[in-house]
């Protein structure tokens, strides 16, 4: 059967096309709700719904003055929506942009990624044991040039010793985030955007808010070490997962950063199975630092 006869057959099945149309629209609405859930946009949607309800009720109850006033606002709706939902619209376009088709096409092979993850986990374990705060951002498909520009360029190979030295409290680079791109520390002391989520757990401090904000504005994976408790956390897709043990952190990073995970055709690794933020009642596990590590 040729292409044109096949298309004609599809057009002739009105019921099938109608069902497909409904499913596509339902999926788009579902994805939109996932994007705005838990963000400021969710509250804005509630305000818009209240405005439309007031417009409907004022018309039915013949409140002419109120109805006229609300009708003057309605023509400004499209412009207002673009302004109010700019971050969410940008994130949605990024999801369906070139990143959607090129996910996982990194230039670093699996062995190098494994060595990098081992170095990061070793450094994070030492930092957590000493309750030294740290922020590590792993760039994926979304470019982080704007964030890198706020820090100090390094372009150094990732190693446990380098990361421990950067976040050592006596150095000038310890305050800020490290950005890792293709197995290299490209910059340190970088400034990350804070989350604008209205409701955040009071136990989450500035370092963790920056990690959540970075993961909300990009597909980056962010590892956080708490200075107060030594807890290791991971931020991805606007969600914070903690506490993580050394082995659990290694498993998460391998699942999120290994290029083979995407080449299998499964697409972008989601946060399925990640637990929401909970305050741990158990103290962080303390480990003895290796010889020569910063104290």
Can you give the CATH number for the domain in which 154 is found? 3.40.1700.10
- Same domain assignment for residues 200 and 146: yes
- Same domain assignment for residues 256 and 119: yes
- Same domain assignment for residues 184 and 231: yes
Quick check: 277 pLDDT over 50?
Answer: no
* Model confidence pLDDT, tens digit, residues 219-240: 899 999 998 889 999 999 888 8
Please check whether residue 189 lies inside any domain of the structure: yes
Look at residues 102, 126, 152 and tell me which one is the last residue of a structural domain: 102
Please check whether residue 91 lies inside any domain of the structure: yes
- Same domain assignment for residues 125 and 159: yes
The secondary structure of residue 76, as a DSSP letter, is G
- Same domain assignment for residues 132 and 21: no
Look at residues 55, 70, 102 and tell me which one is the last residue of a structural domain: 102
Q: How far apart are CA 274 and CA 233, in angstroms?
A: 11
Q: What is the pTM of this model?
A: 0.57
Quick check: 88 pLDDT over 70?
Answer: no
Phi and psi at residue 17, in whole multiples of 5°? -65, -35
pLDDT class for 13, splitting at 50, 70, 90? low
The number of distinct structural domains making up the chain is 2
- Same domain assignment for residues 70 and 192: no
Q: Average of pLDDT values for 168-188?
A: 90
- Same domain assignment for residues 168 and 237: yes
Please check whether residue 276 lies inside any domain of the structure: no
- Same domain assignment for residues 92 and 200: no
Tokens of 91: 């994130």
* Model confidence pLDDT, tens digit, residues 90-122: 666 665 655 444 444 344 567 788 899 999 999
Quick check: 54 pLDDT over 50?
Answer: yes
Please check whether residue 149 lies inside any domain of the structure: yes
- Same domain assignment for residues 121 and 201: yes
The per-residue DSSP string of 203-258 comes to: T--HHHHHHHHHHHHSS-EEEEE-TTT--EEEEETTEEE----HHHHHHHHHHHH-
Q: What is the mean pLDDT of the chain?
A: 76
Report the pLDDT value the prediction gives residue 282, as an integer from 0 to 100. Answer: 41
Tokens of 96: 């369906």
Cβ contact 228:136 at 8 Å: no
Look at residues 67, 102, 137 and tell me which one is the last residue of a structural domain: 102
Tokens of 5: 């006869």
* Letter string b/e over residues 3-39, b meaning 16 or more CB atoms within 10 A of that residue's CB: eeeeeeeeeeeeeeeeeeeeeeeeeeeeeeeebbeeb
Please check whether residue 232 lies inside any domain of the structure: yes
Quick check: 271 pLDDT over 60?
Answer: no
pLDDT class for 72, splitting at 50, 70, 90? confident
Report the pLDDT value the prediction gives residue 160, as an integer from 0 to 100. Answer: 93
Quick check: 286 pLDDT over 60?
Answer: no
pLDDT class for 199, splitting at 50, 70, 90? low
Report the pLDDT value the prediction gives residue 165, as an integer from 0 to 100. Answer: 93
- Same domain assignment for residues 129 and 259: yes
**Three-state DSSP class for 155?**
strand
Range of the domain at 167: 110-263
pLDDT class for 134, splitting at 50, 70, 90? very high
Please check whether residue 78 lies inside any domain of the structure: yes
């Amino acid at each position: 059967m040729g292409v044109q006869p096949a298309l004609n057959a599809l057009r002739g099945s009105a019921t099938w096309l109608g069902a497909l149309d409904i499913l596509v629209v339902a999926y788009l609405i579902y994805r939109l709700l996932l994007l705005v859930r838990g963000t400021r946009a969710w509250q804005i949607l509630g305000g818009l719904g209240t405005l439309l309800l007031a417009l409907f009720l004022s018309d039915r109850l013949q409140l002419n003055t109120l109805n006229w006033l609300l009708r003057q606002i309605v023509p400004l709706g499209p412009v207002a929506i673009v302004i109010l939902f700019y971050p969410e619209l940008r994130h949605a376009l990024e999801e369906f942009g070139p990143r959607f088709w090129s996910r996982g096409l990194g230039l670093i092979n699996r062995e190098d990624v494994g060595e990098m993850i081992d170095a990061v986990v070793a450094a994070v374990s030492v930092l957590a044991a000493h309750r030294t705060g740290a922020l590590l951002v792993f760039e994926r498909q979304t470019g982080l040039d704007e964030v890198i520009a706020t820090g100090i360029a390094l372009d150094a190979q990732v190693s446990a010793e380098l990361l421990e030295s950067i976040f050592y409290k006596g150095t000038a680079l310890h305050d800020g985030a490290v950005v890792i791109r293709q197995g290299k520390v490209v910059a340190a002391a970088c400034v990350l955007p804070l989350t604008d989520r209205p409701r955040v757990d009071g136990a989450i401090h500035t370092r963790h808010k920056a990690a959540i904000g970075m993961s909300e504005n990009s597909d980056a994976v962010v590892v956080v070490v708490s200075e107060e408790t030594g807890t290791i956390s991971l931020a991805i897709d606007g969600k914070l997962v903690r506490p993580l043990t050394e082995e659990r952190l290694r498993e998460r990073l391998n699942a999120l950063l290994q290029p083979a995970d995407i080449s299998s055709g499964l697409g972008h690794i989601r946060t399925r199975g990640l637990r929401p933020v909970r305050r741990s009642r158990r103290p962080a596990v303390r480990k003895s630092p290796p010889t020569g590590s910063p104290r």
